[in-house]
Amino acid sequence: MAGVEQITVEAGEAGMRLDRWVKVHYPGLGFGYLQKLLRSGQIRVDGGRAKPDTRVEPGQTVRIPPLDVDKKGDAPLTGHSIRNQGDADVLAKMLLHEDPKVFVFN
């Protein structure tokens, strides 16, 4: 778990809704928990409270509180994320348990 992060919005992210912007950067963050963070003012834009439908602009700073989720890169498997991966890699990521007679996949 990291401390508070200050992330600057990049030019390619201009006009994104704040809730979607956070999900891009923290794909493992649950929808309900994200909404709670926004309602309670823990996620802020340029130091002020922001609503989920706030549109972010390049150069703005988004304050993210300490979260117990992975940052961008360890995203959950989706149709888009498995498209360019080999079958063995996808199955290895989905494997929950293995013994001589049983494989358990998520």
Which domains are assigned to the chain?
1-68 (3.10.290.10), 76-106 (no CATH)
Q: What is the pLDDT of residue 79?
A: 63
Nearest alpha-carbon partner for 37 in 78, 81, 84, 69: 69
What's the number of CA atoms in the CB half-sphere (13 Å) around residue 34? Answer: 19
Res 56 pLDDT > 70? yes
Chain-wide mean pLDDT for the chain? 85
Nearest alpha-carbon partner for 62 in 93, 19, 98: 19
The mean per-residue pLDDT over the stretch 2-21 comes to: 90
Enter the pTM of the model. Answer: 0.65
The tokens 């293995």 sit on which residue? 98
Structure tokens, 87? 């079958």
